[in-house]
A = this chain, B = another copy of it.
Amino acid sequence: MNEQNSKSKDVTRDIDRAIRRANDRIERCRDEIGKAVIGQKEMIDGMLTGILAGGHILLEGVPGLAKTLAIRSLAQVLDASFSRIQFTPDLLPADLVGTMIYRQQTGEFVARKGPVFSNVILADEINRAPAKVQSALLEAMQERQVTIGETTFELPNPFFVMATQNPIEQEGTYPLPEAQLDRFIMKLAITYPTAGEELEILRRVGVEFNPKLEKVLFGSDIQEIRGTVEQISVDERIEEYIVQLVTASRKQGERRSFHRYIEFGASPRASIYLYRCAKVHALFEGRSHVLPDDVKAVAPGVLRHRIIPSYEAEAEQLSSTDLVDLLLSAVPVP
């Protein structure tokens, strides 16, 4: 008993050390990005959560909120290849994925890989591209492989897509259908900075400003941190809480008062992503176990784009975020 106890204590100490190490790196990463991006802590944490949970992120916000800057900074800080794809209505899937080109010397077709073959991809204004291009990207995101001509190529690892979307409804945009939205682990709503932050931005960026960011996070680090995340324990009561949250969003089983605002609830995929993100959040907090707080913290990002509001909600001007709040305040915490 005593031996076992001391052993389990050792394990605990190991995890704690690993968590501390991981957090140090993440902190350095944040600091480095913070040189270029002022404020927007939520967005940066969300992006890091996405990388560590192995999912892709959708950023929604009006133009000029440093979305692109933040993603580029993240790519700089990571030791990773980065490509930015500006989605336009005339983009073709081949522009993304690559195409077969004819090589005259050999008289053969050779595959030329597209920009999708990078570790970090910024898919800017994804809703401006036609559906075929969107689905090509989303397929690549899911399969982690791409077929050009008849050859199938593996995508690099880590492979991390950050798509941005402009909420301003414009002519000639192709809103992502729900099924495609579901494939993003989180949808982050980027808001305006605070007045203080804005003042700070002005002071720093007022003069020409192009800080050189150091690479502080390497591929091996990411693997290691992911390993640490996996070790974070999730109590079964937390697991049940996650499943309850997701199933409560659906119009089946127990009827809840907010169900009339929901057209469609979250899919089982939502519970998987909630689970993973909550673990990453616990790591950020330096804990070796997940608390309900972690689940609640990541729930808006994970559930926001998976709950489709009904007409009634629209009539009462309730956004998906409000619906998630209603959900969180209705499901008992374990």
Could you tell me which A residues sit within 8 Å of B by CB distance?
54, 62-66, 68, 84, 86, 88-91, 95, 102, 104-105, 107, 125, 128, 130-132, 134-136, 138-139, 142-143, 166, 168, 170, 177-179, 182, 192-193, 195, 198-199, 201-203, 205-208, 226, 230, 234, 239-240, 242-244, 246-247, 250, 252, 263-264, 266-272, 275-276, 279, 306, 308
| A268 B179 Cβ-Cβ under 8 A | no
Residues in chain B near residue A102, CB distance under 8 A: 104
A177 surroundings in chain B (CB, below 8 A): 125, 128, 166, 170
Please state the number of chain copies in the assembly.
Answer: 2
Task: Name the contact of A268 in the complex, choosing from B88, B198, B230 (C-beta under 8 A).
Answer: B198
How many angstroms from the CA of A201 to the CA of B158 in the assembled complex?
A: 24
In the complex the two chains form, what is the Cα distance from A134 to B124 in whole Å?
14
Closest residue on chain B to residue A278 by CB atoms: B206
Q: Which residue of B lies closest to A115 (CB)?
A: B147
Given contacts A65-B267, A168-B264, 18 further A-B contacts (CB under 8 A): A54-B208, A63-B179, A63-B267, A64-B306, A86-B136, A166-B178, A166-B179, A192-B247, A193-B268, A195-B244, A198-B271, A199-B240, A201-B271, A203-B239, A205-B272, A206-B234, A208-B226, A208-B230
Of the residues B88, B104, B128, B268, contact of A201 by C-beta under 8 Å: B268
Give the chain B neighbours of A84 by CB distance below 8 A. Answer: 139, 143
Contact yes or no, B308 A86, CB < 8 A: no
Smallest beta-carbon distance A2→chain B, Å: 31
Q: Are B198 and A247 in contact (CB under 8 A)?
A: yes
Which residues from chain B contact A308 at a C-beta distance below 8 Å? 168
Residues of B within 8 A of A199 (CB): 239-240, 243
A91 interface neighbour in B132, B242, B243, B263, Cβ under 8 Å: B132
CA distance A155 to B135 in the complex (A): 25
Q: Which of B206, B234, B276 contacts A276 (CB 8 A)?
A: B206
Most chain B C-beta atoms within 10 Å of own C-beta, residue among A125, A136, A179: A179
| A135 contacts across to B, CB distance below 8 A | 86, 88
Q: Which residues from chain B contact A264 at a C-beta distance below 8 Å? A: 62, 168
Complexed CA–CA distance, A226 and B205 (Å): 15
Task: Give 28 CB contacts A-B under 8 Å.
Answer: A63-B179, A64-B266, A64-B268, A64-B269, A64-B306, A65-B267, A84-B139, A86-B136, A88-B132, A88-B135, A90-B130, A91-B132, A95-B132, A170-B178, A192-B247, A192-B252, A192-B268, A195-B244, A198-B243, A198-B246, A198-B271, A199-B240, A199-B243, A201-B272, A202-B243, A202-B272, A203-B239, A206-B272
